[in-house]
Structure 1
Amino acid sequence: MSADVAGPEAVARPGSGSDRPRPSRFGLPTATALVVGSVIGTGVFGLPTALAAFGPVSLVAFVLVSIGALALALTFGALAKRISGSGGPYVYAREAFGEFAGFLNAWCYWITAWAGNAAIVVALVGYVEVFVNTDHQVGWSIVIALAGLWIPALVNLSGLRNMAVTQIVFTVLKIVPLLFMATVGLVFVKSANFGPFNASGTSIGGAISAAAAIALFSYIGIETASVAAGRVRDPERNVGRATVFGTIGCAVIYVLGTLTVFGTVPNDALRETSAPFTAAANAIFGGQWAGQAVAIAAVVSGIGCLVGWTLIIGEMPMAAAKDKLFPKAFLRTRRDIPSFGIISSTVLASLLVVVSYTNFEQVFTTLVLLSVFTAVVPYLFSAAAQLYWLLVRGRKAEWPHLVRDCTVSILALAFAFWALAGSGYQAVYYGVICLLLGVPLYIWLKVGQREYGEVKS
């Protein structure tokens, strides 16, 4: 690992959100692991069940969504070449559209990160309870969930090197069983298990759109390398590569893994199970041991995902705080890690977990949907920022390249709008309210800086 994490001699390049030296940086392997680890959490282990109601036509939707996600990954890579500092979507929106747009992106993404961590850890508890607390006592479930949140926080607070090592190890541990199912598992696929191509009862177009609305959510996190760009060695080169490599790797696992599950578990049975990969493993190997192995992989996957997202919940607000667009408390660090951002956000996630286990299930579900909405808004602004830059300051003499890059940006923008539509009317309605709740904070920050002059009585 020593080759992947640079020492104190590594100095950040100048740029927004990264204007001071960084004692340590990580390279391409850790950046790629950060992307894969943040995208693939516990949700992938239940995804085939959610898509089973549509039948194999959902695989078409998954391929289309994967293309859109790749376009967005290429967009983030291109933006990282122009702006190499930490902050990702926040920095891109601020540079293109001004401070207020940048603030709204930082606010949205921060909500996404800590609310999403709460969702991940609640799903993680279900797999842990395959082995302990099998009678699902609420008190112990809360203890397990809180441990699942604070262990990744402590890993991050112990230093960037420990975080990098942990992220790579956990990413490998969770990718191996999933990749096994997505490759060797294909040998056991039987066409009779697929059922009707379109099992939704609607038109093929309607089924693809509905399935895509679910599949779209599977790629949240492809931007994480750009958010932590200030900590990546040679970010102009490595952020884009890590984002694209990570997205392609996730797409292969998602599509082939879902194909394997569809082909090894009968469609009727798949609709009823809450652990589709477990059912597929048991169908392939027989007995229950394979399913338990998948449960272990899901636990590892969830912890690895939380390690990556815990870094992100500190990086995004710290980048905004450096530009005085978030409270200055988020600038506090420990061992060059954004300690205040990590601790405060983990506290919020912990409170949300406790709420979710005290008979407010619907509130928690709604907040999870809001976290999806607040993730897609920064995606949209990032794609718009790239398109804006290409049209205003693009390489006008190189028309083939300009047309290609504009096409990718437009596709990424369409992908973001598609994700917004897929989140549902209720999530969009409450998401806009949640978005605008940041406006009073923005006013408070600006008044404190007195940028618009003294207020006369």
Structure 2
Amino acid sequence: MAHSDTEITNPPAAKLGYWTLTAMVVGSMVGAGVFSLPGRFAQETGVAGALISWAIAGTGMLMLAFVFQRLAMRRPDLDAGVYAYAKAGFGEYPGFFSAIGYWASACVGNVTYWVLIMSTAGALVPALGKGDTILAIALSTVGLWGFFLLIKQGVKEAAAINRVVTVAKLVPICVFILLVLFLFDPGVFADNWGGADYAGSLFGQVKGTMLVTVFVFLGIEGASVYSRHAKRREDVGRATVTGFLSVFAIFASVTIVSYGVMPMEQIAELRQPSMAGVLEHAVGTWGMVFVSIGLIVSVLGAYLAWTLMAAEVLFVAAKDKDMPRFLARATKDDVPVPALVMSTALSQLFLVVTYFSEDAFNFALDMTSALTLIPFLLAALFAVKVAFGYGGTVNGALEGAAADAGPPGRGTGGEMTVALLASAYTAFLLFAAGLEFLLVSFIIYAPATVLFAMARREQGRRVFTPGEMVLFAVAIAGAVLGVAALAAGWLTI
């Protein structure tokens, strides 16, 4: 049956240029996380541990950036990168897992934005608490659905707003860095060097910061996720690397300079956004107000970018017949409204869950990071397969051919090294996250499989192959164990 002109299945994709794609990457990464960095790092480590953490995270994420850059050229037929790479490398059900994990992480990440906005306003309006009160959740709900209506107006309009907001939100962050550098106290910095007195071994300190660094770098794949909209395919990879390098310099600077202003024990006790507390200590109340305004602009811009990406993953997966067909519908303005509704609804659900959490912001932050790790690991492992000659093409020479239309070429030694390092880094992140968040992730993965089953039924296919059935059984077992652990109090949110 034909759709109306306001709801069609295959609208032409809105085309975005290099700078807009770069703004998508920067806008996705520069959100809530950067404003929480001083406090989150000070809770875990001192200057030495922070430097090591950023060296590990910077190197690992740069490898992932190169992975997304190279895969965009080697497999130009694959859209919505993270999900598509998992499917191409390991099959439909693992690809579905990757899509759901990435989508859910984006939705949970959006919750952190509203929690942080309300926590920031809570410094002036006590009824908002730390973003987890009834009033805060009610106001956040209004914001959630208000942005839904904005994005529904069109992707190009939303992307244009994101480009402007990206520039606007970088200004207060850069001003913070310059002001704190001007007031930098070498003695305080030296006293904060070790951090071993209260945070344990240096390895433990570094391990404790890993989920924080994952969270702030989420969005590195933003241009890859939106690759179907790129005017030129090579812009996807260039935008990814440019965006990453710019943001990495900002994040590391915000963290390190803060150690030169006040003792890390005091930084660790600051309410979020801790960047506001650091600047308030340095220059007075106006510094807190200045950072708070910058945070609200930054967070709203990041929320816009992440909502676009969350809906895009569901939409592309549905077009590839890995999700129910109703999610493949889009308006004449290229807005996948059903996917957008589901994304906003999941964010709404997690927003309610934060009311029952001991620490709403940190729970949502860590959960966002953990949900992304499996999709990132599968993408990195697919890059290994491509580099070693399985599942890719040379120099983007696919030219629209089917993925299996001939033997792929092996990559260079450098490409193999990058893929292996990216895989090792993401595997280490899973270890650093711990069992807790992996089990909670399965609570999302297992019931979401109903969407996979719906898609298979629509196509008249068997729901699971024998191998997929084993993976589904593992997901069910993990979900049951996770629910039991939460009920028994072994795990807490």
Q: TM-score, normalised by structure 2?
A: 0.81
Return the alpha-carbon distance in structure 1 between the equivalents of residues 194 and 213 of structure 2: 16
Conservation of the 8 A alpha-carbon contact between 1:278 and 1:295:
yes
Q: Secondary structure at the match of 1:135?
A: helix
Write the letter of the residue equivalent to 1:277. Answer: M
**Cα distance in 1, alignment partners of residues 70 and 340 from structure 2:** 28
Q: 2:445 aligns with which of 413, 435, 444?
A: 435
| Structure 1 residues 203 and 78: alpha-carbon distance in aligned structure 2, compared to 1, 3 A threshold | same
More deviation in 92-101 or 438-447? Answer: 438-447
- CA displacement at 1:355 relative to structure 2: 3.6
1:333 equivalent in structure 2: 330
Q: Is the 8 A contact 1:128 1:299 kept in 2?
A: no
Instruction: Note the C-alpha offset of 1:205.
Output: 3.1
Whether the 8 Å contact between 2:39 and 2:275 is mirrored in structure 1 is: no
Deviations 1:382-424 (A, max 9, x none): 111111011125769999x611011111111112112212222
> Which of 42, 56, 63 is the aligned partner of 1:52?
42
Equivalent residue number for residue 199 of structure 1:
195
| Match for residue 141 of structure 1 among 114, 136, 141 | 136
Summarize the Cα distance change of 1:283–1:306 in structure 2 as closer, same or farther, 3 Å threshold: same
Give a deviation string over 1:108-132, Cα, whole Å, max 9, x none: 112112122122211221123345x
- Displacement of 1:136 in angstroms is 2.4
**Do 1:68 and 1:415's aligned partners in 2 also have CA atoms closer than 8 Å?**
yes
Partner of 1:248: 245
Distance in structure 1 (CA, Å) of the matches to 2:171 and 2:446: 42
Query: In structure 2, what is the Cα distance between the partners aligned to 1:323 and 1:191?
Result: 56
CA separation in 2, counterparts of 1:31 and 1:374? 24
Q: How many angstroms does 1:305 deviate by?
A: 0.8
Instruction: Give the secondary-structure state (helix, strand or coil) at the position aligned to 1:147.
Output: helix
Contact 2:10/2:330, CA 8 A, preserved across alignment:
no
Structure 1 residue aligned with 2:33, among 26, 43, 58? 43
Q: Which residue of 2 aligns with 1:157?
A: 152
**In structure 2, C-alpha distance between the alignment counterparts of 1:268 and 1:451, rounded to whole Å:** 58
| Match of residue 108, structure 1, among 84, 87, 101 | 101
Aligned twin of 1:16: none
Equivalent of 2:54 in 56, 59, 62: 62
Query: Is 2:14 aligned against 1:24?
Result: yes
3-state DSSP of counterpart to 2:302:
helix
Partner of 1:6: none
Residue in structure 1 matched with residue 459 of structure 2 by the alignment: 449
Seen in structure 2, the aligned counterparts of structure 1 residues 363 and 430 have a Cα distance that, compared at 3 Å, is farther
Unaligned runs of 5+ in 1: 1-18
Matches within 5 A, 1:16-415: 22-53=12-43, 54-57=45-48, 58-81=50-73, 82-83=75-76, 85-131=78-124, 133-136=125-128, 138-194=133-189, 195-201=191-197, 202-234=200-232, 236-274=233-271, 275-284=273-282, 286-334=283-331, 335-357=333-355, 359-361=356-358, 369-393=366-390, 402-415=412-425
Deviation at 1:85, TM superposition (A): 4.7
Identify which range, 180-189 or 66-75, moves more after superposition: 180-189
CA distance in 2 between counterparts of 1:115 and 1:433 reads 14
Aligned to 1:4: none
SS at match of 1:341: helix
Secondary structure class of the residue paired with 1:311: helix
CA gap of 1:84–1:40, structure 2 versus 1, over 3 A, is farther
Is the alpha carbon distance of 1:366 and 1:332 closer, same or farther for their aligned partners in structure 2, counting shifts above 3 Å?
same
Contact kept? 1:261, 1:276, Cα under 8 Å = no
Residues 368/61 of structure 1: CA separation in 2 closer, same or farther (3 Å cut): closer
For 1:32, the aligned partner's letter is T
Alpha-carbon distance between aligned partners in 2 of 1:299 and 1:404, rounded to the nearest angstrom:
41
Asked if 1 retains the 8 angstrom alpha-carbon contact of 2:212 and 2:366, the reply is no
Query: Equivalent residue of 2:259, what SS?
Result: helix
Contact 1:366 1:427 in 2 (8 A): no
Q: CA RMSD in A?
A: 2.6
Structure 1 pair 425–415 and aligned structure 2 pair: CA distance change class (3 A): same
TM-score, normalized by length of structure 1?
0.87
Q: CA deviation at 1:364?
A: 8.6
Which amino acid in 2 is paired with 1:157? K
